[in-house]
Amino acid sequence: MSNIVAIVGRPNVGKSTFFNRLIQRREAIVDAVSGVTRDRHYGKSDWNGKEFSLIDTGGYVKGSDDVFEAEIDKQVVLAIEEADAIIFMVDVETGVTGMDEDVARLLRKVTKPVFLVVNKVDNGKRAEDAVEFYSLGLGEYFTVASINGSGTGDLLDALVEALPEQEEEEEQEALPRFAVVGRPNAGKSSFINALIGEERYIVTDVAGTTRDSIDTRYNRFGFEFNLVDTAGIRRKSKVKEDLEFYSVMRSVRAIEHSDVCIIVLDATRGFDGQVQNIFWLAERNRKGIVILVNKWDLVEKETNSAKEFERQIRREMEPFTDVPIVFISVLNKQRIFKAIETAVEVYKNRSKKIKTSVLNEVMLPIIESYPPPAYKAKFVKIKFITQLPTSQPQFAFFCNLPQYVKDSYKRFLENKLREHFDFNGVPVSVYMRKK
């Protein structure tokens, strides 16, 4: 479970450069999966062994500067409500602007840790100029130069120091958690109400452990789990529904605290950018994923249209296409239990442990028939495979020259694992280790 840190500030102060610098250090190592950094505005970072999620609010504002004035206030209000700490970035080149003062006015009332960061300070003269930012009334500030990283160490030391300790969740954590996510109005609430209203299987209502989301304990198919509803959260009056940032913030929390993400999408809108953001968010957090295409009853059907629709979604999901897609209509209560059954299967796939002997028996002959391509006349020999003891499927392939194994070959190995052991709906990680 990690804390959320939001970066706020007006356009062009260098938020994205700073954001990229912070997540690179980690993402380059952990997320060595091609195509994962599609969504540039959310990432994970860690410092001194403390992990946190980083959100660059700037990436969610479309439109010109004047539109931005109104939007930035909403963003800051949201960041204040949702994040555990806030980095407020300003630019030493332009000095204090009216917009900076607006943001500072909102941030002065906040009880959460706020870090005022003056960017583009790369020489002594600019360090002197930074003094004027005291006028924002936010106390001490940090000077950094995002472009070369100077000053970021001190800022991060102070940041992780100030992040609230994550209290371990009690025994209730033992129950699997299924988060229902998606963009506003896709039918998330109705889906949950249909499941719950219809059946009296509910054990208890647990007040939301993830801040505001509602957890419902649910028992079906002899399987008990918590259903996390991100849709039942009271709408903040200040926030307009369509704010992409809003649903992403909400989803980040729900996804990070879940085992399986049930992504509900509206068939009339398709697998659009925002749904894709949520999908990649779940994939990057290595969660189980089920996609529900809701309102299928409203779509004009041609021959094979479900197949065609599914093909389109899978094209957008590449390279991770081994995900169940269920067509439902919440309104007509069509296939909603099939959806839950599928989520349970995905959960079981994610918790699957494969015996080392079986793994080697199946995979070594395949590797022998299709060895990794030679690199600089050197041959890679894979000797032994084992599953790592993690909460999701990760496999270590021990070999003589791990650095020469290309991503395409790792994908080949992943596909073979999927073929033989059924990891439908679950991201699988393949690591090459030195024997």
Per-residue confidence (pLDDT) for residue 1, from 0 to 100:
55
Check whether 383 is labelled as a binding-site residue. Answer: no
Check whether 63 is labelled as a binding-site residue. Answer: no
Instruction: Write the pLDDT tens digit of every residue in 353-409.
Output: 999 999 999 999 999 999 998 888 888 999 999 999 988 899 999 999 888 888 899
Check whether 285 is labelled as a binding-site residue. Answer: no
For residue 201, pLDDT over 70 is answered with no
Per-residue confidence (pLDDT) for residue 384, from 0 to 100:
93
Check whether 306 is labelled as a binding-site residue. Answer: no
Instruction: Write the pLDDT tens digit of every residue in 147-165.
Output: 888 888 999 999 999 988 7
Q: How far apart are CA 180 and CA 124, in angstroms?
A: 51
Check whether 352 is labelled as a binding-site residue. Answer: no
Q: What is the 3-state secondary structure (H, E, C) of 21-66?
A: HHHHHHHHHHCCCCCCCCCCCEEEEEECCEEEEEEEHHHHCCCCHH
Q: Which residues pair with 224 in a beta bridge?
A: 219
Instruction: Write the pLDDT tens digit of every residue in 217-228.
Output: 777 667 788 887
Q: How far apart are CA 435 and CA 430, in angstroms?
A: 15
Question: Is residue 371 within 8 Å of 408, Cβ to Cβ?
Answer: no
Question: Is residue 188 within 8 Å of 140, Cβ to Cβ?
Answer: no
Check whether 222 is labelled as a binding-site residue. Answer: no
Check whether 16 is labelled as a binding-site residue. Answer: yes
Check whether 120 is labelled as a binding-site residue. Answer: yes
Question: Is residue 399 within 8 Å of 374, Cβ to Cβ?
Answer: no
- End-to-end, the C-alpha distance of the chain in Å comes to 32
Name the residue among 329, 336, 352, 328 with its Cα closest to residue 425. 352
3 state SS of 431? strand
Task: Tell me the whole-structure pTM to 2 decimals.
Answer: 0.67
For residue 346, pLDDT over 50 is answered with yes
Measured on CA atoms in the order 420, 426, 432, 435, is the torsion positive or negative?
negative
Check whether 11 is labelled as a binding-site residue. Answer: yes
Check whether 197 is labelled as a binding-site residue. Answer: no
User: Tokens at residue 408, please?
Assistant: 């395409």
Check whether 233 is labelled as a binding-site residue. Answer: yes
* Single-letter residue type at 37: T
Q: What is the DSSP letter of 310?
A: H
Check whether 338 is labelled as a binding-site residue. Answer: no
Check whether 230 is labelled as a binding-site residue. Answer: yes
Instruction: Write the pLDDT tens digit of every residue in 69-125.
Output: 666 667 777 777 778 899 999 999 999 998 899 889 989 988 899 999 999 998 888
Check whether 60 is labelled as a binding-site residue. Answer: yes
Check whether 59 is labelled as a binding-site residue. Answer: yes
User: Tokens at residue 369, please?
Assistant: 């028939």
User: Tokens at residue 32, please?
Assistant: 């060595």
Per-residue confidence (pLDDT) for residue 205, from 0 to 100:
37
Instruction: Write the pLDDT tens digit of every residue in 12-48.
Output: 788 878 888 887 643 332 333 333 333 446 777 888 8
Check whether 35 is labelled as a binding-site residue. Answer: no
Q: How far apart are CA 163 and CA 3, in angstroms?
A: 7
Check whether 356 is labelled as a binding-site residue. Answer: no
For residue 144, pLDDT over 80 is answered with yes
Check whether 211 is labelled as a binding-site residue. Answer: no
Q: How far apart are CA 177 and CA 256, in angstroms?
A: 10
Check whether 358 is labelled as a binding-site residue. Answer: no
